[in-house]
């Protein structure tokens, strides 16, 4: 066959020439090929006929396929039986309305010519395809020469086309039978997998009337796992293919909460952008509403790609191209258009947030806070002079507290500058600010590997604002939206408060009393000691007494004591369990952020028996204004024999070895101080909750207590 005086090229350059005997086309095959084809098969019944597109667009789509090295298909119909077969061809550029195509597989194509008539040219167009009834000008063993029509049909034979998957493994389980395979294609309603039956299993072990559990994954990353219905099953000798449909359009990723995040409609709304885990292709969908725990998107039914239960390990929320927020999410519900049929309509999908980088989480919640209340701020860069004015004017820094910190005022200024202007990932600040004036303040810091310290709660006294309650409400929203994120490490919340202060006693102490379960919320009383500057020389303990580095047996003994004496949460929240090394990771994180947080543990023993565990925390001055993060914590497991001299000497020695210049100590139980004959100062209560179990009851308690909406 020739065109323009030259032979039709046989495939890509460098390809080996095919065997001429295999590709030879007989005169009878040419006659059959060039004869009129049988009538085209009827289109599926549709409410409206498929649209037609002009020759120019048809040629453009052919050229796009050529540009992408993407094959087209020639549809053949069996002359006797009417069965359909499609043969792949590679297009060349169209010249003068004539298309030349090369067989992708010459021998296979030549074999179909004798029994089939050419019906149509099939050109891909996204999720649909173009169907052109072409006229054959010439054919041989290398390819075809076709005259293109003036128009072509745009066809979508399936309600939603299934898209080909790329490198996704599959496993299907039913009644203890396990079949491995791969994902072939998918859409938002179903997916098709090819499976292999490993001996002694056969494909007959799969009962199409019963549900199966399907898992789609790549390496260690699971993209889908759930119960499915079998809608089509094709058995082969050692396996087969299944078309599976998720059994549930709604799934519960997390527990059902009574107090839930408020969904907001933002203007402009962000776009969800991700590479689809099944195809690797970019997808961009408009977000219809958004909260701190999830969001919803809509997509056209004919182009829908979000399968119920699908995991998106890496995605972004793109806010008008100005900034992006990274996240991982999972599709937890899918709502089809009313009627559920046809191609028209929008599919609405809800996605639950699974995790986010801490900085992106702050930016998202800060935006949502402002959308709800223009005076509510999360981790806002603060005017430090306005902040100091607030702390002193509200009485948060009262005379006794100022006497404790005044000699370190320059260090405190520097620490606060780091916390309030750099927004490090280990700190959160909640502000209520109006007209540039700070009305309410609350802060959190991740001071233990799995626990955050709530502190520095203050508000201006005014009947016209509820700033103190507002920042507490912001805290609750933050906890609710972030407690499931692994990156936040928020298994516990911790707060120290003086029981004489009515507000924290009512909020925190009252909740502990109402809960009545010390494995959910515990309160432990501590005595507070100040022993002045650390002496230059270490004093000697009485005979038989030793202060040494704590070892795992000491921690085990302390845990036994605490479980018996309190049954609370301090040991696990403070990471005082034997063998744990998580504290070192947190210390390194503080160092990377330009902050300090270190810990030393000492065991006070008498004749080899543990009497007390002393924990020295070292941090930047001003991290906590009461120095509760830069002090000694002593847990007296056996007070027998611990008198004034032993306790004082042990604390001085621990402070000196840890590098503390002044001795501030929290003592548990508080009665140990009086028993030792020391004069205890003010006392503190240590309040700890398990965040997941306590978050919902605490929110409901606060709403009832404060009548917040």
Query: Does residue 655 register a pLDDT over 50?
Result: yes
Query: Does residue 668 register a pLDDT over 80?
Result: yes
Question: Which H or E element spans position 316?
Answer: strand 311-319
% pLDDT > 90, the chain: 60
pLDDT computed for residue 453 by the predictor: 97
Residue 330 covered by a domain: no
Most confident listed range (78-92, 125-139, 486-500, 670-684): 486-500
Cα atoms found within 13 Å of the Cα of residue 483, Cβ hemisphere only: 20
Average pLDDT of span 497-511: 93
Query: Does residue 109 register a pLDDT over 70?
Result: no
Structure confidence by residue, pLDDT tens digits, 530-579:
898 999 888 899 999 999 999 999 999 999 999 999 999 999 999 998 98
Query: Does residue 647 register a pLDDT over 90?
Result: yes
Nearest to 64 by CA among 108, 146, 126, 147: 126
Extract the tokens encoding 232: 């089509």
Residue 293 covered by a domain: no
Domain boundary residue, one of 155, 189, 213: 155
Residues 125 and 174 in one domain: no
Residues 569 and 673 in one domain: yes
d(Cα 214, Cα 205) in Å, to the nearest integer?
A: 15
Residues 661 and 528 in one domain: yes
Total count of domains within the chain: 4
Q: Look up the CATH number of the domain holding residue 475.
A: 3.40.630
Residues 150 and 167 in one domain: no
d(Cα 331, Cα 651) in Å, to the nearest integer?
A: 55
Residues 572 and 478 in one domain: no
Residue 584 covered by a domain: yes
d(Cα 327, Cα 333) in Å, to the nearest integer?
A: 18
pLDDT band at 158 (very low <50, low <70, confident <90, very high): low
Structure confidence by residue, pLDDT tens digits, 292-319:
999 999 998 888 999 999 999 999 999 9
Average pLDDT of span 392-405: 86
Residue 493 covered by a domain: no
Structure confidence by residue, pLDDT tens digits, 360-387:
999 999 999 999 999 999 998 888 999 9
User: At residue 150, what are phi and psi to the nearest 5 degrees?
Assistant: -75, -20
Cβ-count burial of 65 within 10 angstroms (0-12 exposed, 13-18 middle, 19+ buried)?
Answer: middle
Question: Which H or E element spans position 7?
Answer: strand 6-7
Q: Look up the CATH number of the domain holding residue 57.
A: 2.30.110
Cα atoms found within 13 Å of the Cα of residue 482, Cβ hemisphere only: 26
Average pLDDT of span 153-167: 78
pLDDT computed for residue 9 by the predictor: 36
Residue 116 covered by a domain: yes
Residues 540 and 477 in one domain: no
pLDDT computed for residue 44 by the predictor: 45
d(Cα 683, Cα 496) in Å, to the nearest integer?
A: 10
Look up the pTM and report it. Answer: 0.77
* Buried b or exposed e, range 110-147, using 16+ CB within 10 angstroms: bebbebbbbbbbbbbbebbbbbbbbebebbbbbbbbbe
Residues 103 and 188 in one domain: no
Q: Look up the CATH number of the domain holding residue 183.
A: 2.40.10.220
d(Cα 446, Cα 419) in Å, to the nearest integer?
A: 12
Residue 496 covered by a domain: no
Domain boundary residue, one of 136, 155, 174: 155
Query: Does residue 285 register a pLDDT over 60?
Result: yes
Residues 67 and 135 in one domain: yes
pLDDT computed for residue 203 by the predictor: 83
Query: Does residue 217 register a pLDDT over 50?
Result: yes
Residues 150 and 182 in one domain: no
HEC per residue, 452-521:
EEEEEEEECCCCCCCHHHHHHHHHHHHHHHHCCCHHHCCCEEEEEECCCCHHHHHHHHHHHHHHCCCCCE
Residue 502 covered by a domain: no
Domain boundary residue, one of 224, 246, 268: 246
Structure confidence by residue, pLDDT tens digits, 588-620:
999 999 999 999 999 999 999 999 999 999 999
Residue 660 covered by a domain: yes
Residues 136 and 75 in one domain: yes
Residues 582 and 480 in one domain: no
- Residue 551's domain comprises 521-691
Residues 475 and 542 in one domain: no
Mean pLDDT of the chain: 87
pLDDT computed for residue 42 by the predictor: 43
Average pLDDT of span 14-24: 45
Structure confidence by residue, pLDDT tens digits, 224-235:
999 999 999 988
Query: Does residue 525 register a pLDDT over 60?
Result: yes
- Is the model more confident about 201 or about 602? 602
Average pLDDT of span 18-34: 52
């Amino acid at each position: 066959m020739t065109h323009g005086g030259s032979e039709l090229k046989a495939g890509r350059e460098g390809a080996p020439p095919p065997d001429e005997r295999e590709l030879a086309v007989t005169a009878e095959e040419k006659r059959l090929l060039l004869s009129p084809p049988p009538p085209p098969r009827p289109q599926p019944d549709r409410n409206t006929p498929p649209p037609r597109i002009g020759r120019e667009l048809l040629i453009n789509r052919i050229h796009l396929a050529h540009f992408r090295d993407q094959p087209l298909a020639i549809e053949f119909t069996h002359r006797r039986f009417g069965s359909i077969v499609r043969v792949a061809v590679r297009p060349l550029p169209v010249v003068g309305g004539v298309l030349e195509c090369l067989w992708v597989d010459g021998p296979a194509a030549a074999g179909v010519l004798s029994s089939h008539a050419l019906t149509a040219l099939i050109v891909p167009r996204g999720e649909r395809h173009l169907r052109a009834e072409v006229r054959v000008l010439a054919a041989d063993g290398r390819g075809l020469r076709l005259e293109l029509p003036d128009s072509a049909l745009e066809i979508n034979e399936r309600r939603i086309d299934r898209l080909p998957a790329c490198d996704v493994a599959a496993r299907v389980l039913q009644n203890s039978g396990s079949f491995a395979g791969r994902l072939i294609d998918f859409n938002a309603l179903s997916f098709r997998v090819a499976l292999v039956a490993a001996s002694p299993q056969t494909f007959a072990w799969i009962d199409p009337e019963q549900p199966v559990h399907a898992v789609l994954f790549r390496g260690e990353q699971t993209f889908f796992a759930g119960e499915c219905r079998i809608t089509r099953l094709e058995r082969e000798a050692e396996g087969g293919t299944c078309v599976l449909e998720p059994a549930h359009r709604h799934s519960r990723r997390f527990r059902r909460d009574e107090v839930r995040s408020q969904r907001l409609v933002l203007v402009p709304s962000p776009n969800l952008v991700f590479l689809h885990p099944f195809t690797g292709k970019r997808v961009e969908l408009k977000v219809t509403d958004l909260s701190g725990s999830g969001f919803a998107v809509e997509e056209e039914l004919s182009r829908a790609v979000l399968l119920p239960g699908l995991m998106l390990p890496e995605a972004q929320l793109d806010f008008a191209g100005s900034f992006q927020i990274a996240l991982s999410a999972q599709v937890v519900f899918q709502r089809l258009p009313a009627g559920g049929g046809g191609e028209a309509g929008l599919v609405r999908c809800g996605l639950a947030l699974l995790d986010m980088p801490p900085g992106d989480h702050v930016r998202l919640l800060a935006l949502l806070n402002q959308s709800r209340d223009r005076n509510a701020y999360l981790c806002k860069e603060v005017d430090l002079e306005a902040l100091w004015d607030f702390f002193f004017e509200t009485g948060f820094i009262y005379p006794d507290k100022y006497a404790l910190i005044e000699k370190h005022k320059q260090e405190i200024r520097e620490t606060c500058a780091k916390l309030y202007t750099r927004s490090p990932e280990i700190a959160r600040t909640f502000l209520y600010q109006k007209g540039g004036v700070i009305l309410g303040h609350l802060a959190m810091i991740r001071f233990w590997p799995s626990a955050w310290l709530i502190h520095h709660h203050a508000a201006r006294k005014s009947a016209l604002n509820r700033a103190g309650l507002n920042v507490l409400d912001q805290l609750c929203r933050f906890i609710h939206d972030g407690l499931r994120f692994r990156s936040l490490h928020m298994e516990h919340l911790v707060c120290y408060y003086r029981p004489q202060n009515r507000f924290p006693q009512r909020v925190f102490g009252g909740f502990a009393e109402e809960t009545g379960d010390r494995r959910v919320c515990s309160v432990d009383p501590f005595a507070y000691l100040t022993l002045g500057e650390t002496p230059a020389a270490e004093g000697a303990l009485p005979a038989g007494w030793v202060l040494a580095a704590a070892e795992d047996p000491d921690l085990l003994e302390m845990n036994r004591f605490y479980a018996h004496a309190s049954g609370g949460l301090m040991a696990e929240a403070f990471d005082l369990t034997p063998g744990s090394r998580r504290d070192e990771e947190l210390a390194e994180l503080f160092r990377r952020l330009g902050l300090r947080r270190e810990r030393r543990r000492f065991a006070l023993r008498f004749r080899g028996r543990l009497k007390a565990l002393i924990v020295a925390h070292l941090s930047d001055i001003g991290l906590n204004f009461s120095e509760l993060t830069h002090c000694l914590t002593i847990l007296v497991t056996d007070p027998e024999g611990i008198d004034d001299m032993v306790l004082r000497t042990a604390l001085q020695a621990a402070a000196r070895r840890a590098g503390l210049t002044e001795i501030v100590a929290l003592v548990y139980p508080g009665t140990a101080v009086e028993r030792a004959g020391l004069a205890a100062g003010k006392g503190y209560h240590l309040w700890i909750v398990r965040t997941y179990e306590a978050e919902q009851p605490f929110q409901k308690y606060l709403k009832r207590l404060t009548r917040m909406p």
